[in-house]
Each structure stands twice: as C-alpha cells, then as structure tokens.
C-alpha cells in the first residue's frame, strides 16, 4: 500500500491525479513530516540506483573510444542489432532462459510437493538440497566444466554412453548450451523448490480436506487447489529465475570458456575487454535492462493480476 | 640446485599462471606510494619466489636509496590487464614499474600511459636482443618496454616412438605431421597424433597466428602496421592446415577446448605423439605433480623439441611470441629510480638467475651460446630455435579487440563451423575496422 | 439420508493416549447429533473419521449400513463444514458451491439450479460473483454451508462451524443451521466445545471426554440426570456448584452440611435414588445447579423449612432476565482428580483458585436468582435450595448416584 492511498478521501486534493494527491499530502503536516523523513533515503536510492541507469542509457547514445566521447545517436543500437554475435547472444540466452526456467519450474514443483508432504529428516533434506545453490556460480561452472571435459569428464563419459552426444560436449556450442542448462537446473532447482515450498506451506490444509470431501482426486486437487493458490509463489519464482537466466554471465563465461555468447558476455566483452566497443556493450546492457523490465512487467501483470486478488 | 627441481618449480609456477579464471577477485590493493625512495613494481603472482628474491637483492644493493615493493596483480593476464587499465583511467599512480605482457605496450602507450624509453634503452643496448620481443615494445617509432623474458610456441615430439616406427626426423610440414601422427598413434595405440591449444582464448590466438604465419601469411603488414593483410591465399592455407588438424582426426575434437594444461595432460598421459606448447611444458614432462606418466629419468630422451611445422616445405617457420617486458608508468614521479630497477633486472647476472631458477628464456641471443649456462639450464638449447623464430602478435593500441575477434574465428575454424576462407575474410573486415578506429591522442 | 453408526471405533496417533477410545454411538436418520466436550476430547477426530479425513485405527463406522472404513472421502457421500470454512480462496462464491458438483459431473443446468437455490436459502444471491475474501465472516460461513447443501449428501458433518463468529452472529447462525437441517432432514453430526450450542441445537447430545463417550441423551436428560461429575459440571451454565458433605439421617430424612448449616433433603430424592442408602453416614459429592437456588426473601412462606443457607454476597451480576449471585461458604470441595480436571476442562473457575480455596476450607458458589431479587453485594442473604433437584456423586468414582428408575440416563444410547 502506498502512503497516499491510505489518505482519507477528505484529505485528498480535488483531483485523483498523482500531483493532486501529492499536493493533498503536503497540505497535511503529518504527511509532510513523513515525506521529509524519507527524503534522504529517496535521494540515496536515486543516486545509487537511478543515476547509474540513466548514465548508462545516456552513454549508449554516445560513441566512446578511450576517453573520448561523441554523440552517436542510435548508431550503437544499429550496429548491435546487425551484429551476428548479438544475434547469437539473444538466441542462446533465450534458449537457455526458456529451457532452464521451464525445467527448474517443473522439477521445483515436484520437489516442493514431495518435501511438503513432511517426513523425518525434512529439515536436513531441505538444507542439503540447497547446497548446489549456495555454491558461487563460477565455482560450480568450473567444477562442471571439469566433469564435461573430454578427458576424464564423467558427464562426457555418461553422455557418450547413453549416446546423447557423439563428440566432446564442450567442443560444440549447442551441446555446451544444453550442458549449461543442465548445470543451471542442477544449481537452481532447489531454490525454486524452496520458494514454491514456502508458497505451499501457506495454503491451509483444510482447503485440501474440503476438496477431498468435495470429491477431488489427487490430480484434481493439484489442478484446482494447489496451482491456483500457489500462483503468487509461482510468479515470484518464475520472475526471479527468468530475470536471473536472462542475465546469465558466469555460467557461460566460465563453463563454455567464452565460446557460447550470452547477452551478458556480449556486454562484458564490449565493456571490459574491448577498447573500441564500449558503447556497443553499453547499448547491450541497456537492452538487457529494458528487456528485463518487459519480462518483469509480463509476469507481474500477466500472471500477477489474477493472483493479486487471492491475498 | 639439481636441474629437475628447478625445472619442476618453474613448471608449476608457469602452470599456475596459466590456470585461468578461478583466482579472480583479489581485493583492492592500496597504493603503495610511501616514501620518496620507494618504488612499486606490479606483476602477477610468482610461485617460484624468484621475483621477490631478486627484488630483495636490488633493495639490499641500493642500501635504502631505492626500495622496490612487489605489488601482486591477478594471475589471469586478462584480469591483470583490465585492472591495470582501470587504474590508469582513474589517473591515480599506483605503480612505477610494470611487468607487462608482450601484447600490452602498444595498447598502453597509445593512451599515453607509458614512458618512452628511447633515451635510456639505447640502440646499443638493444643490439643483442632478438627482434620480436623488441618489436612488441615499439609504438609510433618509440620504444616503451624492455623485454624481460620470452616465450615461444614449440613442437614437442615422441622421439622414441618416431624411432621405433622408422621415422628419422620430426615433421617439417603439417602434412608430414598428420601422416606421422596418424601412423605412429595408430601403431602405438595412442589416442591422438597431435595436441595443442584450440580454445577461444589468448593461447588459441597464438596457435592460430602460428598457423597463418607458417602458411606464409601475415596478419599485419610488416611495413604498415595499420594495414591488415590476413585475406591472402597463404593465410588461408595456414588456417586450412589448422582446420585439418582436427578434421583429419590427428587432433581430438576437444582440441577446440584445449588450453596449455589440457594438451599437456594428454601428452603427459602418453596419449599423443606431438604437442605444441610453451617452454614451461619442458619441466612439466618430468613433474609428477602435473601427472606425468613418463619415467623422469628417461623422459628427456623420449621427448624432444623442435620448431613448428609449416605448410609447404622450405617456408620460414615462426613461433608466436609470448613473455613479459618492463615498462615505466608515464605518471610516475620516480622514473629515474624506476629505470635503475629495470637496468638491474636486465643485468646478465639477474638474467641468469631468472633463466636458471625460473626457466625464463632470456630475450638476448648471447645467453643461448653460453655453454656454462646451458649446462645449468638445458632448456636454453632446447628452446633456442623456437625463440629465434618468434614473431609478435599484431601490435596495435586496440589489440584486445583484435584478439577477441581472432579468438572467435580461429576457434570456429578449428571446429569447422566456418571455412578457412570465411575465417580470413571475416577477420580481414573485422580487424581492419578495428585498425581503422581512430587512436586517441597519446599526449593526454 | 442415512444413519451413521460408530462401533467400537478407536483412533490412536502413534504412542500414548487414544484420541478416541472404543466409541459406540448410533445416529439416527435425519437426526441432529451434537458431539460436545472440552478440547482434546476426541470429538473432532471422531467426526473426521466419519468424513474419511482420518483413518480408523480400530472398529467400524457405517454410513447407511455400509462400512466406510476403507472408502475415500469423496465416495462417502457426505458434506463437511469446517471450522475455518475452508473456502477455496481463488474461486467465487458460485464456484465454491459448484465445485463438488462439477467434479461429480452434475448436469450444468441442474448444478446452476442447485447453487442458486442454496444461495437463495442462505441469502447469498447477490454475492455469487464475489471471492471469499470480499465476504464477512457470517457470509463465509453461509457459503461453507451452501457448499454442503448443494451436494444433497447423506450426511452433514460440521466441525465447530460457528466458533469463528462473534457472539451475536453465532446465535443467529445457530438457529439458521437448525432450521436448514430441519428442512432438509439430513443426518447431521455437529462438533462443538460450546455446551450452550450443543444444548440448543442437538436432537441428542453426546458428551465426550478424553476420547471416551460419557453420556448420550437429549439436552433435557443430560441436564437433569448427568451420569457423572463430568457431564454434570460440563452441561449447564453457569456450571453446577459442587461441595462435599457427609450424608446423615435425621428424623427419617437425609441431611447434609453446607458450610455448617444443616440442609434437609427432600424425601422425593431419597425415594428416587434408592442407592443413596448405601452412602448413609459417608462423605459424598453434592451438586447444586445455580438455577436451584432462590432468594428466600422473595419467595413468601411456601419455602419448606430447613432447606436454606445463609451467606454473605461477594458479587452480584444483574443480567436483566436473571441475577447471578456469587457467594462463599465454608463448604469445601474434596478435590478428587476428576474434580480438578473438570475445573480445568469446564473452563469455569480457575482450578488453582478452587484448589486453594478447598485447602482453606471454603468454596465459591453461584446462584441464579429471579431478577426480582434485590440482593446487594456485601449483604447477608438467606438462599433457598430446591433440594428436590440436588445431584449426588460418589466421591471415589465420580458416578452419579441414582439407582432404580433414576438410572435411566445412563442406559440411554450409552455403552
């Protein structure tokens, strides 16, 4: 709830507009004090949050070479959108995001349901399940890279044995991309499961009992009770994971040893390694920022609106 | 010190440096700009301890007039360079002398961050140097760095197995290498004929450059460094040879993911006939810590080193130059003292110390003729031809960008994802565009 | 429509005490049976076993003659109303009520008709499109009822359905549920801890304690002839007063000592309870309902001699329809274990206070007097005791002392 919407109707300005409301708020001394008190934090948020974003957006319209900056209009974006490396970055990141989030969600739901049943050692299981998630991504990426290696890599061995691949995984960009999906699923499914578990645990048990008495079998209970009531948790989990996956960096960089491009590695190469493509990398960073906003809006509006009512 | 031990120390040291990635985040090291007579020397971690020992010798010799402090930088050269650039951009002087990779001087000098050394590092002093390490320090007709030690790509081969299969001499051309590799590997039950570095990283760039050069091609016009000339039949022939290494089955498909240690591991496992690697691998041949399966007493009769093959017999062969140089921070207020330190570091005594204790190959020719020194460090003789045939990677202020593109294209070429023709034409366009990007005014 | 039978039904949760111990209870077709008892008495567990939400450890439950021990809830043809309503938060009122019908694949038109009818009966017509969170507690309660009604089940099972409502709504819903059950004539088991609810709603009431059935009977039977100390104390409001005294014979009539004052017991009592003879000269527990006191000053002369006590009034609560008077007498209670637990379970007076009073030799009593009484706090008052209505309990086993015809309560549906 925003501060303003708590105002009693009589205290508001004549209109319903934001400024009218603000004016109304400022007419009230208690609220004025409130605004005064939060202003330092607001300022801080602006400085450390908003300013870098605005600066990055501004930079994306400049051409930056060494320390020289000149206005470039949309050139950086034009170059970026016609760059085949950017195309493969978008494609790879999209495939990675869709696959990893989908798998993590399905497995996460399954695990959450299993853990939610309650059994001896539930707490320990939960803690153990979180271990992969607690690893720094770079560490697990390198660890898995070793396991995917052609010489002595257990995953490579297994994949060959079950005829999933014919050549070395890491020598093929596609195979590496799927390998990265696998690692991400390994690493983040427990996190998704825990988020969903938290959601499951707030569903009152008697609703299930009501459904049982009403004649719902297990599947119908899941479809008609669990899923809809889990929706807020699902939205949060999907939103977190999708945004995380969309920004994937270290997993690609360290595990594929920079052969598979993601949006973030594209940014990194431009901004941190290249000396001539800073602006291009910056434009890509802005692209990630904007697309992330779109993704967030999609989840919050598209899926969130119906569930917002459930509170 | 017995030979095996120091070779081992050297091998482990360089191997440690070669391990990329994981040792990334070192905290910010505060500027060590203490008293007026103290100097800061930036360089990556040195597991052998020789660098610190030599610095201590210098400090003792100076008797407090100049004190050098060793500021340890990230082990990963990419991160080291990134950190260095960030520091220079911030304009704060945090070091006086920089231990710089051979690919950095032009990139740093173009921004005006390095002090020109022409007056100090005289032509006379330069006379004994091998040309490639010197060339890497030149930018816009000025010299910005003094070579410290050199690395070169070399071909390690299984002399014992070649003898056994009636092959008198190591291959001179890639075609010969494919034949011998396939034949010997087949006869001896080895996994592969050849291993090297094909991954998408700086080492892959070195391997790729060697393919181009040893096909008779050039990347940069030697007469006009601003001109990219990789789109040539010779360069294409070189990259064809590179692609064929994998497509012919002589090298594993995983060659495209191999770095120094991966290829060395295969070779130490006695699973390959030939290996392209740097001099450090020589010590590693007998190093149980690296997992060698060779008998340390016999390995140096079993494995010999020669120069890299070429595309057509009779062509001149080249090895990619690696190694490190000394440079002086243009913003340093103690340039004289800094030069004193560099001068000390390149005195023959210190060079010999590095050669013997750290297996670092000196950039001056005379050391390779020194019989006494060779006795103490046999690698000198082994690497001599390779070092003499070194050639620098493109020298350009935006080398990092060129390296990114080369790493991509060379790796894709190895994987046959693009044809050699596509590789050279893509690189021609991309690298020329980089070369044409206006260079900032060096007088900042 | 069906009768429901418990036959030696037992429920145990792992080790320890049984939640329900050998319960035998028959509920007739169309009957409104209330299970009442303090929390933990096993009443909810018994209900949930009928619903199929708890497994039956031992014994059998029959619904309409069919043993349902192994029948899943959805196939038992019962509807349940939960304490917290257990509405589906994401469904509208309409969908909440229609859910079971949808699952049962009831014809759309039929479903619509039934939901709308139920909504109409419950006054929910205008709320059909709303979600539960937009409803008041009472409305949610109705939806929960509606959800049960549309099913047209063999039985309603209600688990403290009114406990989350405020007092006024509770009274209102009480009668409403009663009315609906009357109209539909559906066998109903209603669980509550509130004896007022039990007494006002049930055709019959089953009193449970610690997993054991104490007594089954109509509200009147329970009130007038409680089989033991527990039922006596639990049923009735305010709770029955207890004291212990030696039973002595004087002039052919029994006398008891109430705080040093002799009270003569009406001979009808002696006749009705032949067993009392066995207790001649022995210590017994005597129960006096607050309703069986009266202010002697407003009674005129028709009050029999020797059946009144004098006391000093500690507290007067004027309720309009009646006046409650609290007073202390030196008529201590023998604090048997049953008595202590009863105090705790009945939730009347604080058990510790009662116990300490007992040690001091005093005891607090409550009398419910006619509002005409003008007794003030601190006054000395003479209170008439209707000795025909006294209750007697064995001090050792807490059982009511009846014998002969008076014993009928114990035989009613029990064991």
What does the DSSP assignment read for B374-410?
HHH-THHHHHHHHHHTEEPPP--TTHHHHHHHHHHHH
| Euclidean distance between CA atoms C129 and C401, whole angstroms | 58
- The full 3-state SS of chain C, as one line of letters, equals CCCEEEEEEEEECCCCCEEEEEEEEEECCCCEEEEECCCCCCHHHHHHHHHCCCCCCEEEEEECCEECCCCCHHHCCEEEECCCCCCCCCCCHHHHHHHHHHHCCCCHHHHHHHHHHHHHHHCCHHHCCCCHHHCCHHHHHHHHHHHHHHHCCCEEEEECCCCCCCHHHHHHHHHHHHHHHHHHCCEEEEEECCHHHHHHHCCEEEEEECCEEEEEECHHHHHHCCCEHHHHHHCCCCCCEEEEEECEEECCEEEEEECCEEEECCHHHHHHCHHHHHHCCCEEEEEECHHHEEEHHHCCCCCCCCCEEEEEEEEEEECCCCEEEEEEECCCCCCCHHHHHHHHHHCCCCHHHHHHHHHHCCEEEEEEECCCCCCCCCCEEEEEECHHHCEEECCCCCEECCCHHHHHHHHCCCC
Collapsing DSSP to helix, strand or coil, A162 comes out as coil
pLDDT digits (tens, 9 = 90+) for C217-227: 999 999 999 99
Task: Kindly determine whether residue A213 and residue C87, on different chains, have CB atoms separated by under 8 Å.
Answer: no
Collapsing DSSP to helix, strand or coil, A305 comes out as helix
State the Rg of chain A over Cα. 24
Chains A and B touch (3+ CB pairs under 8 A): yes
Higher-pLDDT residue of B442 and B349 is B349
For C60, phi and psi rounded to 5 degrees? Answer: -135, 145
- Which chains have at least 3 CB atom pairs separated by less than 8 Å from chain B? A
Q: Do domains B3-151+322-381 and B153-319 have the same CATH topology?
A: yes
Section C340-351 average pLDDT: 68
Going by pLDDT thresholds of 50, 70 and 90, the confidence category of residue C347 is: low
Q: Is A273 at the interface with chain B, CB within 8 A? A: yes
Q: Which residues of C touch A202 (CB under 8 A)?
A: none
A117-126, B60-69, B93-102, C102-111: least confidently modelled range:
A117-126
Residue B405 near residue A269, CB atoms below 8 Å: no
Environment class of C240 (CB within 10 Å of its CB; exposed 0-12, middle 13-18, buried 19+): buried
Environment class of C32 (CB within 10 Å of its CB; exposed 0-12, middle 13-18, buried 19+): buried
Instruction: Indicate whether C63 pLDDT > 80.
Output: yes
- Which chains have at least 3 CB atom pairs separated by less than 8 Å from chain C? A
Residue A294: Cβ within 10 Å count: 9
Whole-number pLDDT of residue C273: 85
CATH 3.30.930.10 applies to domain B3-151+322-381: no
Q: What b/e sequence results for B55-92 when a residue is b if at least 16 CB atoms lie within 10 Å of its CB, and e otherwise?
A: beebbeebeeebbbbbbbbbbbbbbbbebbbebbeeee
Q: Which residues touch A247 (CB under 8 Å, ≥6 apart)?
A: A263, A264, A288, A292
Closest CB to A171: pick one of B82, B254, B404: B254
Section B39-44 average pLDDT: 95
Candidates A143, A150, A183, A146; CA nearest to A169 is A150
Instruction: Indicate whether B27 pLDDT > 50.
Output: no
Q: Is the dihedral of CA C149, C150, C154, C157 positive or negative?
A: negative
Instruction: Indicate whether C153 pLDDT > 60.
Output: yes
pLDDT digits (tens, 9 = 90+) for C126-146: 999 999 999 998 899 999 999
Q: Is the dihedral of CA A142, A147, A150, A156 positive or negative?
A: negative
Q: Is the dihedral of CA B209, B215, B219, B223 positive or negative?
A: positive
pLDDT digits (tens, 9 = 90+) for B11-24: 333 333 333 333 33
Domain ranges of chain B: 3-151+322-381, 153-319
Q: Which residues of A touch B411 (CB under 8 A)?
A: 259
Whole-number pLDDT of residue C395: 86
Q: Which residues of C touch A215 (CB under 8 A)?
A: 73-74, 100, 103-104
Could you name the CATH architecture of A78-135+174-310?
A: Orthogonal Bundle (1.10)
- Chain C nearest-CA distance from A206, in A, is 5
Residue A42: Cβ within 10 Å count: 10
Going by pLDDT thresholds of 50, 70 and 90, the confidence category of residue B326 is: very high
Whole-number pLDDT of residue A1: 36
Closest CB to B254: pick one of A66, A168, A173: A168
Q: Which residues of B touch A254 (CB under 8 A)?
A: 21
Q: Which two tokens stand for residue A67?
A: 């320390």
According to CATH, where is 1.10.3720.10 located in chain A? 78-135+174-310
| Euclidean distance between CA atoms A194 and A200, whole angstroms | 9
Candidate ranges A9-18, A123-132, B261-270, C33-42; pick with highest mean pLDDT = B261-270
Block residue for tokens 């490190």: B324
Distances in whole angstroms, Cα of residue B350 to Cα of each of B53, B121, B253? 10, 17, 43
Q: Which two tokens stand for residue B311?
A: 């595309």
Closest CB to C86: pick one of A206, A215, A231: A206
Whole-number pLDDT of residue B322: 96
pLDDT digits (tens, 9 = 90+) for B175-234: 999 999 999 999 999 999 999 999 999 999 999 999 999 999 999 999 999 999 999 999
Q: Write down how long chain C is.
A: 415
Task: Kindly determine whether residue B82 and residue A273, on different chains, have CB atoms separated by under 8 Å.
Answer: yes
Q: Is A83 left (phi over 0), alpha (psi -120 to 50) or beta?
A: beta
CATH 3.40.190.10 applies to domain B153-319: yes
Q: Which residues touch B351 (CB under 8 Å, ≥6 apart)?
A: B362, B364, B367
Collapsing DSSP to helix, strand or coil, A18 comes out as helix
- Chain A nearest-CA distance from C359, in A, is 46
Residues of chain A below pLDDT 70: 1-16, 66, 303-311
Instruction: Indicate whether B31 pLDDT > 60.
Output: no
Whole-number pLDDT of residue B441: 58
pLDDT digits (tens, 9 = 90+) for C352-362: 777 777 777 77
Task: Kindly determine whether residue C74 and residue A217, on different chains, have CB atoms separated by under 8 Å.
Answer: yes
**Minimal Cα distance from B430: which residue of A?**
A83
- The full 3-state SS of B26-82, as one line of letters, equals CCCCCCCCCCCCEEEEEECCCCCCHHHHHHHHHHHHHCCCCEEEEEECCCCHHHHHH
Mean pLDDT of chain B: 89
Higher-pLDDT residue of B129 and C298 is B129
State the Rg of chain C over Cα. 24
Closest CB to A275: pick one of B253, B269, B401: B401
B246-255, C294-303, C369-378: least confidently modelled range:
C294-303
Instruction: Indicate whether B325 pLDDT > 80.
Output: yes
Q: Is A143 at the interface with chain B, CB within 8 A? A: no
Distances in whole angstroms, Cα of residue B336 to Cα of each of A86, B61, B119, B240, B330? 48, 16, 12, 50, 12
- Residues of A within an 8 Å Cβ radius of C: 204, 206-207, 209-217, 220, 224-225, 228-229, 231, 307, 309-311
pLDDT digits (tens, 9 = 90+) for A174-229: 999 999 999 999 999 999 998 999 999 999 889 999 999 998 999 999 999 999 99
| Euclidean distance between CA atoms C310 and A99, whole angstroms | 87
Compute the count of residue pairs across chains A and B with CB atoms less than 8 Å apart: 83
Section C98-112 average pLDDT: 93
Closest CB to A213: pick one of C79, C84, C87: C79
Whole-number pLDDT of residue A306: 52
Residue A105 near residue A237, CB atoms below 8 Å: yes
Instruction: Indicate whether B2 pLDDT > 50.
Output: no
Mean pLDDT of chain C: 86
Task: Kindly determine whether residue A150 and residue B411, on different chains, have CB atoms separated by under 8 Å.
Answer: no
Whole-number pLDDT of residue C108: 93
Candidate ranges A121-125, A288-292, C52-56, C198-202; pick with highest mean pLDDT = A288-292
Question: In terms of DSSP bridges, do strands C187-192 and C155-159 run parallel, antiparallel, or are they unpaired?
Answer: parallel
Going by pLDDT thresholds of 50, 70 and 90, the confidence category of residue C295 is: confident
Higher-pLDDT residue of A13 and C43 is C43
Task: Kindly determine whether residue C80 and residue A204, on different chains, have CB atoms separated by under 8 Å.
Answer: no
Section B4-33 average pLDDT: 36
Section B166-173 average pLDDT: 95
Candidate ranges C88-102, C293-307, C388-402; pick with highest mean pLDDT = C88-102
Going by pLDDT thresholds of 50, 70 and 90, the confidence category of residue B266 is: very high
* Percent of chain C at pLDDT exceeding 90: 42
Section B267-278 average pLDDT: 96
B10-24, B76-90, B161-175, B404-418: least confidently modelled range:
B10-24
For B199, phi and psi rounded to 5 degrees? Answer: -70, 165
Start-end of H helices in A72-204: 75-81, 84-116, 122-129, 131-134, 137-148, 154-161, 173-201
State the Rg of chain B over Cα. 21
pLDDT digits (tens, 9 = 90+) for C172-186: 888 889 888 888 899
Higher-pLDDT residue of B440 and B206 is B206
Section B362-370 average pLDDT: 95
Start-end of H helices in B136-295: 159-164, 174-188, 202-214, 233-247, 260-268, 280-284
In the sheet with C66-67, reading across from the earlier edge strand, the strands are: C18-27, C4-12, C58-63, C66-67
Q: Which residues touch B266 (CB under 8 Å, ≥6 apart)?
A: A151, B191, B192, B195, B252, B258, B272, B275
């Amino acid at each position: 709830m925003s501060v303003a919407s708590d105002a009693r109707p009589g205290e508001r300005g004549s209109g319903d507009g934001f400024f009218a409301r603000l004016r109304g708020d400022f007419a009230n001394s208690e609220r004025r004090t409130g605004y005064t008190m939060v202003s330092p934090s607001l300022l801080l948020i602006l400085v450390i949050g908003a300013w870098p974003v605005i600066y990055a957006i501004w930079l994306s319209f400049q051409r930056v070479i060494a320390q020289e900056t000149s206005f470039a209009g949309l050139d950086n974006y034009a170059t970026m959108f016609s760059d085949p490396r950017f195309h493969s970055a978008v494609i790879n990141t999209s495939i990675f995001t869709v696959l990893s989030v989908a798998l993590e969600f399905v497995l996460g739901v399954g695990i959450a349901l299993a853990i939610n049943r309650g059994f001896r050692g539930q707490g320990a299981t939960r803690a153990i399940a979180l271990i992969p998630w607690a690893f720094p991504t770079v560490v697990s990426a390198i660890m898995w890279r070793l396991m995917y290696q052609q010489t002595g890599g257990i995953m490579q061995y297994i994949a060959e044995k079950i005829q999933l691949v014919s050549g070395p995984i890491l020598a093929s960009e596609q195979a590496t991309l799927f390998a990265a999906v696998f690692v991400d699923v390994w690493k983040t499914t427990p996190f998704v499961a825990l988020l969903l578990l938290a959601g499951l645990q707030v569903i009152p048990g008697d609703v299930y009992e009501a459904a049982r008495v009403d004649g719902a079998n297990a599947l119908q209970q899941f479809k008609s009770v669990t899923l809809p009531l889990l929706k807020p948790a699902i939205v949060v989990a999907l939103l977190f994971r999708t945004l995380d996956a969309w920004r994937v960096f270290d997993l690609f960089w360290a595990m594929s040893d920079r052969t598979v491009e993601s949006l973030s590695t594209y940014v990194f190469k431009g901004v941190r390694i290249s000396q001539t493509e800073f602006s291009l990398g910056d434009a890509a960073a802005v692209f990630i920022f904007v697309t992330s906003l779109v993704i967030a809006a999609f989840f919050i509006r598209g899926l969130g609106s119906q569930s917002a009512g459930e509170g | 010190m017995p030979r095996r031990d120091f070779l081992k120390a050297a091998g482990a040291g360089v191997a440690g440096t070669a391990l990329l990635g994981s040792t990334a985040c070192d905290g910010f090291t505060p500027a060590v700009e203490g008293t007026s007579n103290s100097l800061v020397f930036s360089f990556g971690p040195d597991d052998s301890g020789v660098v610190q020992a030599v610095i201590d010798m210098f400090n003792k010799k100076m008797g407090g007039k100049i004190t050098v402090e060793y500021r340890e930088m990230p082990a990963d050269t990419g991160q080291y360079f990134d950190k260095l650039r960030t520091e220079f951009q911030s304009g704060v002087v945090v070091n006086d002398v920089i231990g710089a990779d051979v690919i950095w001087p032009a990139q740093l000098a173009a921004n005006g961050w390095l002090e020109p050394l022409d007056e100090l590092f005289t032509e006379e002093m330069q006379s004994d140097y091998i040309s490639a390490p010197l060339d890497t320090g030149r930018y816009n007709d000025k010299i910005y760095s003094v070579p410290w030690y050199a690395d070169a790509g070399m071909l390690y081969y299984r002399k014992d197995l070649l003898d056994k299969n009636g092959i008198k001499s190591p291959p001179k051309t890639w075609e010969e290498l494919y034949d011998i590799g396939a034949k010997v590997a087949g006869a001896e039950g080895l996994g592969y004929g050849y291993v090297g570095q094909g991954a998408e990283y700086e080492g892959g760039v070195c391997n790729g450059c060697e393919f181009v050069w040893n096909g008779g091609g050039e990347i940069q016009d030697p007469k006009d460094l601003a001109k990219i000339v990789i789109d040539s039949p010779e360069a294409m022939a070189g990259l064809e040879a590179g692609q064929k290494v994998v497509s012919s089955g002589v090298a594993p498909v995983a060659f495209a993911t191999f770095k120094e240690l991966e290829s060395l591991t295969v070779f130490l496992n006695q699973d390959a006939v030939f290996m392209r690697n740097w001099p450090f691998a020589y010590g590693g041949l007998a190093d149980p810590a690296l997992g060698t399966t060779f008998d340390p007493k016999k390995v140096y009769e079993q494995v010999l080193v020669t120069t890299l093959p070429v595309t057509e017999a009779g062509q001149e062969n080249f090895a990619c130059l690696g190694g490190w140089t000394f440079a002086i921070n243009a913003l340093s207020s103690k340039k004289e003292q800094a030069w004193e330190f560099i001068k000390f570091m390149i005195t023959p005594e210190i060079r010999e110390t590095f050669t013997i204790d750290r297996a670092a190959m000196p950039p001056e020719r005379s050391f390779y003729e020194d019989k006494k020194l060779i006795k103490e460090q046999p690698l000198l003789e082994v690497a001599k031809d390779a070092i003499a045939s070194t050639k620098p990677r493109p020298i350009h202020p935006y080398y990092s960008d060129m390296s990114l593109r080369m790493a991509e294209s060379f790796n894709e070429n190895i994987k046959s994802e693009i044809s050699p023709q596509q590789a050279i034409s893509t690189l021609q366009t991309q690298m020329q565009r980089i070369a044409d990007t206006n260079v900032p005014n060096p007088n900042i | 429509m069906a009768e429901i039978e418990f036959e030696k039904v037992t429920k145990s949760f792992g080790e320890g005490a049984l939640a329900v111990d050998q319960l035998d209870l028959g509920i007739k077709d169309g009957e409104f049976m209330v299970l009442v008892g303090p929390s933990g008495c096993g009443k909810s567990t018994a209900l949930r076993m009928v619903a199929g939400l708890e497994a039956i450890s031992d014994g059998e439950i029959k619904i309409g003659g069919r043993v349902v021990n192994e029948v899943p809830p959805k196939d038992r043809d019962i509807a349940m109303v939960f304490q917290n309503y257990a509405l589906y938060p994401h469904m509208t009122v309409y969908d909440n009520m229609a859910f079971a019908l949808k699952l049962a694949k009831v014809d759309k038109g039929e479903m619509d008709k039934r939901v709308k009818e139920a909504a109409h009966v419950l006054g929910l017509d205008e709320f059909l499109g709303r979600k539960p969170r937009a409803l008041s507690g009472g409305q949610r309660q109705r939806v929960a009822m509606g959800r049960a009604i549309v099913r047209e089940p063999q039985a309603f099972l209600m688990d403290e359905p009114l406990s989350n409502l405020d007092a006024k709504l509770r009274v209102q819903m009480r009668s409403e549920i009663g009315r609906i059950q009357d109209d539909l004539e559906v066998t109903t088991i209603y669980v509550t801890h509130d004896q007022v609810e039990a007494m006002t709603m049930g055709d019959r009431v089953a009193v449970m304690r610690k997993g054991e059935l104490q007594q089954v009977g109509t509200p009147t039977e329970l009130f007038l002839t409680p089989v033991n100390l527990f039922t006596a104390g639990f049923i009735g409001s305010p709770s029955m007063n207890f004291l212990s005294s030696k039973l002595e014979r004087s002039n052919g009539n029994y006398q008891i000592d109430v705080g040093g004052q002799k009270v003569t017991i009406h001979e009808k009592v002696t006749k009705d309870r032949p067993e009392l003879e066995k207790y001649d000269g022995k210590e017994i527990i005597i129960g006096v309902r607050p309703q069986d006191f009266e202010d002697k000053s407003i009674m005129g002369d028709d009050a029999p001699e020797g059946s009144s006590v004098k006391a000093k009034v500690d507290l007067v609560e004027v309720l309009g329809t009646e006046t409650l008077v609290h007073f202390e007498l030196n008529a201590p209670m023998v604090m048997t274990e049953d008595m202590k637990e009863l105090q705790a379970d009945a939730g009347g007076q604080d058990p510790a206070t009662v116990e300490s009073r007992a040690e001091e030799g005093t005891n607090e009593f409550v009398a419910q007097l006619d509002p005409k009484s003008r007794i003030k706090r601190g006054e000395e008052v003479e209170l008439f005791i209707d000795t025909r209505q006294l209750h007697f309990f064995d001090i050792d086993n807490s059982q009511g002392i009846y014998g002969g015809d008076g014993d009928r309560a114990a035989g009613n549906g029990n064991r």
